[in-house]
Structure 1
Amino acid sequence: MSRQFLDVPPQPLTNPADLRDGRAAMASLFESRYLTRNILIGMALGAAIGTALNLTGTTVAEPGFLAGTLFPLGGDIFVRLLRVLVVPLVLLSLMCGTAALDDVRKLGRIGLKTLAFYLGTTAIAIAIAIGLSVLIQPGAGFELNYEADFAASESPPLAEVILNIFPSNPFQAMVEGNMLQVIVFAIMFGVAMCLCGEPGQRVLAIANDLNDVVMKLVMLLMLAAPFGVFALVAKTFAIEGFSAILGLAQYFFLVLLALAVHAFFTYGLILKVFTGLSVKRFFKQMRSVQLFAFSTASSNATLPLNLENAEHNLGVKPSIASFTIPLGATLNMDGTAIMQGVATVFISEALGIDIGVQGYLMVILTATLSSIGTAGVPGVGLIMLAMVFDQVGLPVAAIGVIYGVDRLLDMARTAVNVTGDAVVSTIVAQSEGEFDQSIFDSEEPVLKHAK
């Protein structure tokens, strides 16, 4: 073999220009405007086909092949693929964000700010809901039959709730998806990495690489988002239909009104007051996340997209977003608090029970505090509502009356919850000097890991 042949440099198997073109084409699929458009198309088609199926006689008892098998299968597979990433994403992002802080004392300050805003907005949310309900009186003239098939799970004692925040086995917490315990362990590990010097930096580099891989996987899954959204929405409208809304129209639309007021007025006001940022641009940067949250009705399933959007479209630095977004997905329940406020007034009016001003104040206090206390419990919204009803002397069985439309309202509540997570993250980030104005002002938002 001649030396001349050996000196020939290896030739690339693929033309670099073609590779770049391919990457550009792939990246365009992830651009926020395309993702928003495709999700909207999926939602519209799902709602249309689901409604058509419902009109042909699809019910809970007889869902048929499409509504009973195909749509639930497609939607559940998509949500499962996203949920499987929640634990590693929260663990890695919190570890990286905490370890990246140059001062551990800063973590306590950020935590207090975040918790204060989450609890404060929850209290405001339920106050708005009660105020609108007292003004509009949705339960007036409603004939209530609360002998419905509903049994609320019993809420755990306060001491048990506090104890369960702290993990005894971090691996068990990850397997069970106990997000509060995962968050506590991730913060502890991140602080240790921060204090460990050179070994901590080496572990941090590995964690950052793993975090990038997980986020890349999230963005790959977003390719299937319009199809997953279509299946979820089609199933919901095929089973529920609009007939479920008619009997509870006042309650249903009052919850939607309160959610809209809180999302656009409360969040918009505190964002403007505390940051001075453009509220219009914020909601423009959030539209893909809101649509995705609405269609999945799951804050946990939306968490990866919300975290990516906060960092690369809203300009929140990873050291803040990786702490505030996962914490918000676990603790922030403004949408649920609004449902509780409206439901309490609606049921009390329908039963002719006057709970009085003291009762309303008790609802605000109970719902605000229980947003932390029941964060890791399945069926959290209805459990929290059962706790509120117990506090003001309303029959828990009456929850069954509103249970039928709760699935539809849950979609809107989730969109409000993830919006609140992003608002608080943006406020905290700017107050800590961890905010990039140029990213927030970008005219063409593109999710980074698509590139």
Structure 2
Amino acid sequence: MTQNRKKMSLPAKMGIALVLGVIAGLIWQWAGWDAHVFKPFGDLFIRLIRMIVIPLVVSSLVAGAAGMDNLRKLGRVASKTLGYYLISTTIAVSLGLFFANIFNPGVGLTLDVSKEVVVKTAENPGIVQVLLNIVPINPLGACADGNLLQIIFISLFFGFALSTLGEKGKPLLRVFELTMDVMIKITHVVMLYAPFGVFALIAYTVGLHGLKVILPLAKVIVIMYAIAFIHVVIVYLPVLKFIAKYPIKSFFKEMREPLLVAFSTCSSGATLPVNMEAVQRMGVSKSTASFTIPLGNTINMDGAAIYLSLAAVFVAQVYGVSLGLSQQLTIILMGILASIGSIGVPAFLLVVITMVFTQVGLPMEGVALIAGIDRIIDMARTTVNILGDATAAVTIAGTEGEFKQQDLANATSQSA
């Protein structure tokens, strides 16, 4: 028992690493040293977890789809999940627009945007092409390119087909279940390095940007974090309490580790394995968790939706561009579509955001304004993304009657 008391939990280690990383970053910046010395150690952590993501997504989605009791349940869970994600993302992008118009973050702001920021301009392919691009021409190519939307499509298709085989398909289903278990074991090993990765990522961010970059754009940062908090309060908490009927304190207690990983890595993909484990500890069945979390990791980007709308209004105000009602409605639609296509890796949204800017006629130079603080905002953005995925999983499980009364009683007593 003494040894158990002395053993520090992983969330505690990552929390300490986060604080030490901030201190180290400030020291590095004050001394004028090159913060890039931390970058390889942080990149190693992200690469290790991204190494896990594709095999985990494939195995978990196939096992989740094929492991449902019947096709009727599978269709029910799928429709609930997609419906929840669509409503949640729409609310998120609308909140971003609403508060951006109230607080006017770009009004009166004068910044030097002469420094060129290299950003790959994203073409707007249109809705039909976006939908067609979900279907992979070459499934192996989709895996090699890391195209999660295509990987999810073929994995679900394969899982649906496997579920129709009944007993005949059970041996293959078992292979995918074992593969998922192996990938989770690998995740445990990788997470031993997590505190070092968190320290390096935060030290690099603070050492590179510091307060000099944060202070001129503090208003945007504060508004982003405030909207993220409001979204959690008015969407996630009521859903957990009244629909999932799951104790909120217990939920956040189990979510400590995924939240720390998300906040420090700024990668939804990196957080996927620990997020899946967290919801299963809460009582979500493996099949439901294996279906909702990987799917949400790609198409449920509430944090990204908030930021896209906030950034669009901010840049429009800085450049004196007037956004009418039709343009703001376009931002809502584009925000939903663009957030669906956002791959869960750091800074990818700087590419995606050009699609929104192009659609509503905003100058691409505006990306230079937000690039410097993207990492700081990405911390809130990614945290909201993975919190939304976990809330969806718990909610779907609650509506499917997966929580036993004894489990809920234990969760309530633990959170008290």
TM-score by length of 2: 0.92
State which of 102, 105, 111 in structure 1 corresponds to 2:69.
102
Closer, same or farther in 2 for the Cα pair 1:292/1:183, shift >3 Å?
Answer: same
Is this contact kept in 1: 2:263–2:380, CA < 8 A? yes
Q: Tell me which residue corresponds to 1:288.
A: 257
**Do structure 1's residue 342 and structure 2's residue 317 form an aligned pair?**
no
Is this contact kept in 2: 1:316–1:436, CA < 8 A? no
Mean Cα displacement is larger for which, 316-325 or 183-192? 183-192
**Do structure 1's residue 279 and structure 2's residue 277 form an aligned pair?**
no
Q: Tell me which residue corresponds to 1:87.
A: 54
| Deviations 1:160-196, CA, capped at 9 Å, x for gaps | 3222211232222222211122212222222222222
* SS of structure 2 residue aligned to 1:85: helix
**Do structure 1's residue 114 and structure 2's residue 81 form an aligned pair?**
yes
Q: Tell me which residue corresponds to 1:414.
A: 382
Report how far residue 424 of structure 1 moved: 0.9
**Do structure 1's residue 51 and structure 2's residue 26 form an aligned pair?**
yes
Closer, same or farther in 2 for the Cα pair 1:358/1:103, shift >3 Å?
Answer: same
Q: Within 2, Cα distance between the matches of 1:411 and 1:383?
A: 17
Q: Within 2, Cα distance between the matches of 1:426 and 1:114?
A: 11
State which of 277, 280, 295 in structure 2 corresponds to 1:327.
295
Closer, same or farther in 2 for the Cα pair 1:154/1:383, shift >3 Å?
Answer: same
Report how far residue 252 of structure 1 moved: 1.5
Report how far residue 284 of structure 1 moved: 2.0
- Compute the RMSD of aligned alpha carbons: 2.5
Q: Within 1, Cα distance between the matches of 2:63 and 2:406?
A: 23
Q: Within 2, Cα distance between the matches of 1:27 and 1:333?
A: 38
Report how far residue 410 of structure 1 moved: 0.7
Question: Structure 2: which amino acid aligns with 1:417?
Answer: N
Report how far residue 414 of structure 1 moved: 0.6
Unaligned runs of 5+ in 1: 1-20, 446-451
Report how far residue 144 of structure 1 moved: 4.6
Q: Within 1, Cα distance between the matches of 2:141 and 2:357?
A: 33
Q: Within 2, Cα distance between the matches of 1:174 and 1:267?
A: 32
Question: Structure 1: which amino acid aligns with 2:396?
Answer: V
Matches within 5 A, 1:193-212: 193-212=162-181
**Do structure 1's residue 140 and structure 2's residue 115 form an aligned pair?**
no
Q: Within 2, Cα distance between the matches of 1:264 and 1:242?
A: 29
Q: Within 2, Cα distance between the matches of 1:115 and 1:209?
A: 27
| Deviations 1:193-213, CA, capped at 9 Å, x for gaps | 222233311112222222212
Question: Structure 2: which amino acid aligns with 1:39?
Answer: M
Question: Structure 1: which amino acid aligns with 2:183?
Answer: V
Closer, same or farther in 2 for the Cα pair 1:180/1:52, shift >3 Å?
Answer: same
Question: Structure 2: which amino acid aligns with 1:177?
Answer: G
Q: Within 2, Cα distance between the matches of 1:237 and 1:300?
A: 22
Closer, same or farther in 2 for the Cα pair 1:391/1:210, shift >3 Å?
Answer: closer
Q: Within 1, Cα distance between the matches of 2:189 and 2:232?
A: 29
Question: Structure 1: which amino acid aligns with 2:140?
Answer: F
* SS of structure 1 residue aligned to 2:108: coil
Mean Cα displacement is larger for which, 369-378 or 333-342? 369-378
Is this contact kept in 1: 2:10–2:257, CA < 8 A? yes
State which of 369, 391, 394 in structure 2 corresponds to 1:426.
394
* SS of structure 2 residue aligned to 1:101: coil
Matches within 5 A, 1:66-77: 67-69=35-37, 71-77=38-44
Aligned pair count?
A: 411
* SS of structure 2 residue aligned to 1:84: helix
Q: Tell me which residue corresponds to 1:17.
A: none
Q: Within 2, Cα distance between the matches of 1:196 and 1:258?
A: 47
Closer, same or farther in 2 for the Cα pair 1:337/1:147, shift >3 Å?
Answer: farther
Q: Within 2, Cα distance between the matches of 1:225 and 1:444?
A: 26
Q: Within 2, Cα distance between the matches of 1:175 and 1:353?
A: 41
Report how far residue 289 of structure 1 moved: 0.7
Q: Within 2, Cα distance between the matches of 1:212 and 1:372?
A: 28
Kindly name which structure, 1 or 2, has the bigger radius of gyration based on alpha carbons. Answer: 1
Is this contact kept in 2: 1:147–1:398, CA < 8 A? no
Report how far residue 48 of structure 1 moved: 0.6
Question: Structure 2: which amino acid aligns with 1:255?
Answer: M
Q: Within 2, Cα distance between the matches of 1:398 and 1:291?
A: 30
- Identity, % of aligned positions: 40
